[in-house]
Amino acid sequence: MTVTAKSLVAQNRVQQGGTISVPAKRVGAHRRANPSGLQQWLALTGRTVWTMIRYGEILVAILAPLIFTVGFYLPLKFVMQLRGVDYAQFLMPIIVMQAMAFTAISASQLSAMENANGFSTRLKTMPVVDAVPLLARMSSGVVRSAVSLTAALLFGHVIGFRFSAGFWQAALFCSFAMLISITLSLGADAIGSLSKSPEATAQALTLPQLILGMLSCGFVPEDGFPEWIRPFVRNQPISQFSFAMRDMAEGGVTASVLFPAAAWCLGLLAVFGPLAFWASMRRQ
Per residue in 14-25, pLDDT (tens digit) is 445 444 444 444
Amino acid 31: pLDDT: 56
Q: Is 34 helix (H, G, I), strand (E, B) or coil?
A: coil
Amino acid 283: pLDDT: 56
Identify which of 278, 105, 116 has the alpha carbon closest to the alpha carbon of residue 208: 105
CA distances in angstroms from 146 to 49, 50, 55, 75, 188, listed in the order given: 13, 16, 18, 27, 18
pLDDT(132) > 60 = yes
The domain segmentation of the chain, as residue ranges, is 38-281
CA distances in angstroms from 68 to 9, 42, 63, 71, 211, listed in the order given: 89, 32, 9, 5, 16
Identify which of 73, 84, 82 has the alpha carbon closest to the alpha carbon of residue 159: 73
Convert the pLDDT of each residue in 32-61 to its tens digit: 556 677 888 999 999 999 988 888 889 999
Q: Whole-prediction pTM value?
A: 0.83
Host H or E run for residue 221: none
Amino acid 263: pLDDT: 96
Amino acid 284: pLDDT: 53
Identify which of 236, 10, 44 has the alpha carbon closest to the alpha carbon of residue 132: 44
Residue 168 neighbours by CB under 8 Å, 6+ apart: none
Residue 145 neighbours by CB under 8 Å, 6+ apart: 99, 100, 103, 177, 178, 181, 182, 185
